[in-house]
Amino acid sequence: LDKSLEGLVSSSHPLPLKRVIVRRVVESAETPLSQAQCRAMFALSTRLVLQGPDPFQRQVGRQVLEAYGRYHRAEFEAFFNRGLVLGLLQRGYGELSNRDPAILDYIQAGLRLIMSCPSVLELFELLQVEALRLVCERPAPPLCARLCQLLGDFPQCLPRGRKLSLAFCQQLVRSIAHFQSQGSREAELRLYVSQVTQVSGLLRSVWKAEPDTLLPSLQELFAVISAADTSFEPSVALASLVQHIPLQMITVLIRSLTTDPNVKDASMTQALCRMIDWLSWPLAQHVETWVIALLKGLAAVQKFTILIDVTLLKIELVFNRLWFPLVRPGALAVLSHMLLSFQHSPEAFHLIVPHVVSLVHSFKRDGLPSSTAFLMQLTELIHCMMYHYSGFPELYEPILEAVKDMPKPTEEKIKLILSQSAWTSQSSSLPSCLSRLSGKSETGKTGLINLGNTCYMNSVIQALFMATDFRRHVLSLNLNGCNSLMRKLQHLFAFLAHTQREAYAPRIFFEASRPPWFTPRSQQDCSEYLRFLLDRLHEEERTLKALSSTKTSESIMNEESQKQEAVHKAQVFAEAPCMGSGERTLIEKMFGGKLKTTICCLNCKSMSQKEEAFTDLSLAFCPPTSLENVGPKCVECSEVKDDYVVQTNTSATSPAGETLLNNLEVNGGCDTIMNEGTIKDFSTEPNSENTTNSELNKVQDNRDMSQRLVGKNTLSVTDLLNYFLAPEILSGDNKYYCEKCASLQNAEKTMQIIEEPEYLILTLLRFSYDPKCHIRRKILDNVSLPLVLELPVKRATSSLAVVSGGWSVGVEFSDIGENLAKKLKPSGADEVTCPQLVPYVLSSVVVHSGVSSESGHYYSYARNVTGSGPSGLCHQSTALSLVSPQDKLLTEESPCTVVENELDTEMPREWFLFNDSRVTFTSFQSVQKITSRFPKDTAYVLFYKKQNSTCGFNTNSANGLWVNGDPPLQKDLMDAITKDNKLYLQEQELSARTQALQAASASCSFRPNGFDDNDPPGSCGPTGGGGGGGFSTVGRLVF
């Protein structure tokens, strides 16, 4: 029968005829046969299965083998024995190699036929050994997949015992590492992927049945991908294993990997690079999860060198994976993390910038919902990076054009994303004995290290930095090659905006800006420092401009050089048309206002007027004790004001139009306050003729206002401003020498603000000299700080336009508080000028903690306030609805009240507390309550920003030059910041490694940061507010 069958299948008869005859041969298997006949049929069918030249013969062999083996099981058991199986696995069959998958097909078919026979157990034991031997020989994907299919169907063939089972898993991992696809066509790739899936599925089954084998298998996997052997590149097919690793093991495994001292940096770098390559595997799940977890784990233990190297090596590869829909989700997740965490330098982002536009256009052409969703995510990521690294318009303009139709994230969202993604924001998984990573706080703001009682400087610098328009002007200056103080301030502002450090040490700026009479390492007055700093910056700019103009006049230049000089002069200092004159310095544009002082002789009615520039107003307190003996005499009323100082920082105007900043005070008494001076030589100007009110009315108005101020429980800044601007009677020892009368006469002195500054700086004069004790005492009275302040400005209505955001003063408002229009009305009849209330919003508050100006501590509250929005705030959601004065009358609310009520619903986390190195979120309520909660902590210097004003600054640049609102940095500044950020990451990494080595023997304590509302902000010590004198010795090492 076997001879007949063999001749039939090899004959040339028609295929249908052959099939009919074969069917009858298969049906005859039920008839009894001798042992020799059965053996002959088994041998023939085996030969046909393994060596059949065509599919028909191999199919016939399988059908005959299955039929005769089922009906003659005992004979087949004797035929399919250990010797046959071992020979097939070790030597093959004839010309058929033992590594041909057909061998395993035949063995699997034989096992099915003898499953109920006792001899199958012997074959299982044999296959357990042979399976391990086979995987050690690194079988090709087809053979390995076929073996895994056999082992999956017959798990009894899997190696038994922990040692053999573990060895099998580890060798199978290494076998996968050697897999390579044999073709590039889609059908071949699909087959390859299915083969890999078969192998990884078997490993998953083993890990599930024997959990003890999982961790050693993963260790073997890491050993494979971390190997530095350049002659062997592990297969991307290893990615198929990741989806079978329980996600619950991420924390344990990442901690083990990142803290293992035996894992070298080169090995970790190699492993991470290869894991990123796994993103190319089409069916892999959770690869991005493990990659991101490992990136975060390395950041937590401060191994920044690895992160930098891997990011720069692989960022372009990850970006290119976005072109392939199957792997796009994982690639975008990894790309987002890599870019958002790489915040010390634009290098990584700029590697992919040239490829962004083409990818965006591709997504748009697809038009698929999935492509649109990915495009929105990519656009948000790109906006975050352009915000963080502004200053490259030539790179970003094509991108902005490509994504102009896509929604743009808000600035608050961008800041939140960046702050949460930085390497320095990753929480460490190390034991608590290792110090907390000293990265930027969650505010995203940078503190200033106290260099030894330098909190007076730190608080002022932070307030100036948070004056958004001033900061932007400073950062936009072109000061290359200049070693001026403004250049050093620009350098300091740039580092505060872009450094990765938690706190920056402003040593260079401190040495350059410290007044010569300030003793180093001793506490000083922040108001005095602020005046000195602004005066220095002002005078320095005037000097540079004068030198520039002199040099230009002395040299003869051709037309081209004249053009270049003009461009240079235009860039040296921003010439934004803020207050009219184009020759004003930056300090004058930002902080300069004008004050007119008028002295009217009460005898002849002649008037003397003088206009002075100021950069800050010093507001004296109205003491209750000086009002006890208020009587009808004018001199007694004058004493109310003369006992306390009214100090103004002014600049006198010369006939030539030059301005000189100096410190002046209006002081009729003998109290001594910082930088005392005297206003002298009032120039006589045309007198006002309409002075019909009596002197008695003037005195009564002054007394009424003083009594109103004293009667209130808590003074407000508005009260002090009213008191500053209230008319003053000069009598007694303070009589005024009238040139017209040629004698000393009683006179009325009034001060009026005729030109308002962009930033109004108010200093509350809390320190007065006690002649009895010869000390300077501090006035601890609480002063309420209005969120919106209205500054009365008097100017000619015929020549000056109405300030945007102001209200007409032609309507009488109900006097629910301080009606500035009424209180400051001059004693005479209506003049040609009328007061206009210019609204200001609170920007910063410098607080002094202590009882003396020679001791204590300074810190500051500040918020983001710009002039670009309707409300002058950094967000648009609280835009003001400025209703008409008539509407105010109906509701009996002043404009200031309505504005403040609307602004009081502030955005969360809008205010910041700057306390030397420490920066935390706070609220306006904390600012208001600071003195009531901590009586020695009082507001000292206030910064108010004029509302609805941009000072000529267009921050909404259409061409994207100012992506984040701040101007682009000069290249040398950006390079310096990038270099320092890299140095900082190296310092952190070296410090972490040193501590890790000492962790076993050293004990450290963890001191958590408190919240600003829980404890008083503290004081300056010898090393300065917790900031110390600098970085630790370990931290300053460079490698």
Active site residues: 455, 857
Instruction: Give CA torsion, residues 794, 797, 800, 802, to 10 deg.
Output: 80
Q: How far is residue 721's CA from residue 818's CA, in Å, rounded to a whole number?
A: 10
Contact 755, 749 (CB under 8 A): no
Its sign, for the CA torsion 168, 171, 175, 177, is: positive
Q: How far is residue 458's CA from residue 456's CA, in Å, rounded to a whole number?
A: 6
Angle in degrees, 0-180, between the axes of helices 186-209 and 214-225, rounded to the nearest 10: 140
Q: Which two tokens stand for residue 1005?
A: 């304590």
From 989, 404, 470, 454, select the one nearest 759 (Cα to Cα).
470
Instruction: Give CA torsion, residues 225, 231, 232, 236, to 10 deg.
Output: 80
Q: Which amino acid is at 1027?
A: G
Query: Which residue in this structure is represented by tokens 């071992």?
Result: 86
Q: Cα 652 vs. chain centroid, distance in angstroms?
A: 44
> How many beta carbons lie within 10 A of that of residue 647, not counting itself?
26
Q: Could you tell me the maximum CA-CA distance found in the chain, to the nearest angstrom? A: 154
Its sign, for the CA torsion 90, 92, 97, 102, is: negative
Give 131-163 as a DSSP string.
Answer: HHHHHHT---HHHHHHHHHHHHH-GGGS--SHH
Q: How far is residue 352's CA from residue 349's CA, in Å, rounded to a whole number?
A: 6
Q: How far is residue 580's CA from residue 595's CA, in Å, rounded to a whole number?
A: 16
From 110, 78, 77, select the one nearest 93 (Cα to Cα).
110
Q: How far is residue 571's CA from residue 494's CA, in Å, rounded to a whole number?
A: 18
- Beta-ladder partners of 763: 618, 941
What one-character DSSP code corresponds to residue 743?
E
What one-character DSSP code corresponds to residue 280?
G
Contact 953, 946 (CB under 8 A): no
Angle in degrees, 0-180, between the axes of helices 120-136 and 141-153, rounded to the nearest 10: 150
Contact 595, 752 (CB under 8 A): yes
Q: How far is residue 63's CA from residue 89's CA, in Å, rounded to a whole number?
A: 23
Contact 689, 659 (CB under 8 A): no
Q: Cα 79 vs. chain centroid, distance in angstroms?
A: 75
Q: Which two tokens stand for residue 292?
A: 């991101």
Between strands 715-716 and 728-730, the pairing is unpaired
Q: Cα 969 vs. chain centroid, distance in angstroms?
A: 17
Q: Which two tokens stand for residue 960?
A: 């994207």
Give start and end residues of each alpha helix (H) in 367-392: 369-388
Q: How far is residue 979's CA from residue 174's CA, in Å, rounded to a whole number?
A: 42
Q: How far is residue 867's CA from residue 469's CA, in Å, rounded to a whole number?
A: 7
Contact 404, 394 (CB under 8 A): no
Contact 49, 65 (CB under 8 A): yes
How many helices (DSSP H) and strands (DSSP E) are in the chain? 37, 21
Please give the C-alpha separations between residue 264 and each of 226, 726, 998, in angstroms, as whole numbers. Answer: 9, 75, 18
- Beta-ladder partners of 789: 840
Q: Which amino acid is at 461?
A: I
* Non-local CB neighbours of 390 within 8 Å, separated by 6+ positions: 961, 962, 963, 964, 966, 967, 968, 969
